[in-house]
Structure 1
């Protein structure tokens, strides 16, 4: 944290960051609204398709839990972006910063972070489940069954709510201010009316006077940050309207309006370590640890998949058994021993497994691209203090928001492009019947889907998770056997 000495505050981001923030903020409301609407539709379709009877599997259950969390984030962000970005210039100040809106902002800061944390840990669970399926296929049914998966999903929701909500609730408070406006509606001064804010401001002024008497001028940046930062920007990746400090040039006051803002709580104002702990929890526990875990799991998953493919290729490429002297084939257990070969069904299962792996890896990599920078930024906030927060983090908060929203809405495209059964099930559910005459669905896909629906067969995603194609060799009479475990 900045201290009151002669040293100037370090410069982490220059004026270019301010220009970027100002230019992007003008379009963020419209861009985020479009992404949220499309993401709401996409996640709704994900839930409908993944919860079909023939699509039920442990992996799809995790993907459904992920879609529910992403859908909730999208729905809640829509009123926020409309009010704070799209309509902000047309609303009167007392309506824009009303008490009811301050309550919503506090709810938004907690709700969005809780749901986003749930999404993060469900993604980690997805990576763990997939790695177990590829690395330990014999244990997959025991370790990653449907009952275990449901318990894990429920635990993720409950634990994230209990861990994240209290810390965010304790460090924020709704405070009352009187804004003095000039004839153009510009804020001339903002006077706190909440007692603990008044007391804290008096403490700051006393420290300024004491520093002046000791000929050690306080750091103006530290004073400005302490008094005027909106705390909702500190605890979530979303920002609200920041409070401008009083201007030095006197202007005639036309009217006074009572407004309400989310600010540091009394506990947080007098406990800097609590603020730093919040940043560490947000940057390290919620962001960096899951990202590091996902990176390790993704690398191990790729290596395990490549090893399984090499082992399968080696075992299935052995030469065929030789015929006996009279020209007949060798007989094993009363049956003729044929050349081991991959039939079309086996090849299709291998392709399905590979497609599932590629799809889940794409989900993980997109998540890492979005979350790793936010985790690093949160860690730097705790290490470098308020100067980095004001100059860099808050200026990039809108950009981090839109990246997180895009990541939450793009899974539908991945499923459609990389999962054959998802496409088939989606087509059978939503395709108008009159199109069958001109654009018929492939009959093999329809038959397969109907067979799976009636028999509740494992889904493509479940096959990728629960039944990866593994090759084992039977040593008896040197016959190689391809087995689905």
Structure 2
């Protein structure tokens, strides 16, 4: 990956892949294999701890993905903005550091959420384990639960939505200004370059819009739950599966758009797939890649 945007896309793809891989055993065990009944075979001690791990992993990767989305829109804005002065302020090394910092800081902010996740045995049951019920929205809500909730709402939902909306708007405006500036220039090379940048920017804006559509409704619901007692136990619990499905659709669609947007991203993915299928024999891949390099004109 020789491009700052591609580095950020790789970080988002890794985060989304971790999320989806965690959902596979979760869905098989808790929905397909055992259905909806609360049985000892379904909620063993080990599987309940896996549920806790899945919950915390989903929260962490979600925060990583949305903040990388914010970084991606800002980096693209800086790139388009700097085209007129012939200087790019975000290079490859800085983008790698940025991705690593987002991963580490997101994990740091999720520590309160890890702390409040506990496993308990259900009273009066035959070895049925469950996650400890949180008292979100209740009058006696512990401060650590309130802290975890506010961090997730402000830093994992509302804050990124606001920033990604602002940066997306600036990106649209800057793209319009760049197009007006390009009209004064002549040459097929300049026009082709602007078409490529415009196509890439439009796809990035589509990803930004998907983030907002997927995250903003949940942000509003979480905010209501902080102030309305029993909202999480009654209303919000009924929407849990719908929210999960929406997040998975967002992850899958984003991955498809990454492949459509970046030739380098497709090349790396294809190379990894060929190495896995052919046990390291890259002859067929090298031939296909050479053909793709000659025929493809999609660059980021």
Which interval holds the TM-score relative to the shorter structure?
A: 0.7 to 0.9
Q: Would the aligned equivalents of 2:40 and 2:126 in 1 still touch at CA under 8 Å?
A: yes
Deviation at 1:423, TM superposition (A): 9.1
Runs of 4+ in 1 over 6 A off after TM superposition: none
Where 1:283 maps in the other structure, the secondary structure is: helix
TM-score (norm 2): 0.84
Alpha-carbon distance between aligned partners in 1 of 2:102 and 2:269, rounded to the nearest angstrom: 32
Q: Would the aligned equivalents of 1:424 and 1:446 in 2 still touch at CA under 8 Å?
A: no
Deviations 1:374-393 (A, max 9, x none): 1111111112232x223321
Asked if residue 277 in structure 1 is aligned to residue 222 in structure 2, the reply is no
- Whose RCO is larger (CA < 8 A, sep 6+)? 1
Q: 1:293 aligns with which of 163, 188, 196?
A: 163
Deviation at 1:279, TM superposition (A): 2.2
Q: 2:237 aligns with which of 394, 416, 440?
A: 394
Question: Greater strand percent: which structure?
Answer: 1
Q: 1:171 aligns with which of 91, 97, 116?
A: 116
| Shift in alpha-carbon separation, 1:427–1:385, aligned structure 2, 3 A | closer
Q: Following superposition of structure 1 onto structure 2, how do residues 58-207 of structure 1 map, counting pairs within 5 Å?
A: 58-89=4-35, 93-137=39-83, 138=85, 141=88, 143-164=89-110, 166-177=111-122, 190-191=123-124
| Shift in alpha-carbon separation, 1:79–1:362, aligned structure 2, 3 A | same
| Shift in alpha-carbon separation, 1:261–1:74, aligned structure 2, 3 A | same
Where 2:118 maps in the other structure, the secondary structure is: strand
Deviation at 1:82, TM superposition (A): 1.0
| Shift in alpha-carbon separation, 1:427–1:158, aligned structure 2, 3 A | closer
Uncovered stretches (5+) of structure 2, i.e. residues with no partner: 275-287
Asked if residue 348 in structure 1 is aligned to residue 192 in structure 2, the reply is yes
Structure 2 partner of 1:413: 256
Q: Would the aligned equivalents of 1:173 and 1:265 in 2 still touch at CA under 8 Å?
A: no
Deviation at 1:358, TM superposition (A): 0.8
Q: Following superposition of structure 1 onto structure 2, how do residues 368-383 of structure 1 map, counting pairs within 5 Å?
A: 368-383=212-227
Q: Would the aligned equivalents of 2:7 and 2:96 in 1 still touch at CA under 8 Å?
A: yes
Alpha-carbon distance between aligned partners in 2 of 1:385 and 1:445, rounded to the nearest angstrom: 57
Uncovered stretches (5+) of structure 1, i.e. residues with no partner: 1-50, 178-189, 192-255, 317-340, 432-440, 453-458, 462-485
Q: Following superposition of structure 1 onto structure 2, how do residues 299-314 of structure 1 map, counting pairs within 5 Å?
A: 299-313=169-183
Structure 1 partner of 2:281: none
Where 2:132 maps in the other structure, the secondary structure is: strand
Q: Would the aligned equivalents of 2:182 and 2:190 in 1 still touch at CA under 8 Å?
A: no
Deviation at 1:269, TM superposition (A): 10
Deviations 1:24-75 (A, max 9, x none): xxxxxxxxxxxxxxxxxxxxxxxxxxx4xxxx21110110011011111111
Residue correspondences, number: 284
* Larger CA Rg, structure 1 vs 2: 1
Deviations 1:9-31 (A, max 9, x none): xxxxxxxxxxxxxxxxxxxxxxx
Q: Following superposition of structure 1 onto structure 2, how do residues 463-474 of structure 1 map, counting pairs within 5 Å?
A: none
Structure 2 partner of 1:261: 130
Question: Greater helix percent: which structure?
Answer: 2
Deviation at 1:280, TM superposition (A): 1.9
Deviations 1:90-134 (A, max 9, x none): 988211111111111111111111111111111111011011111
Structure 2 partner of 1:229: none
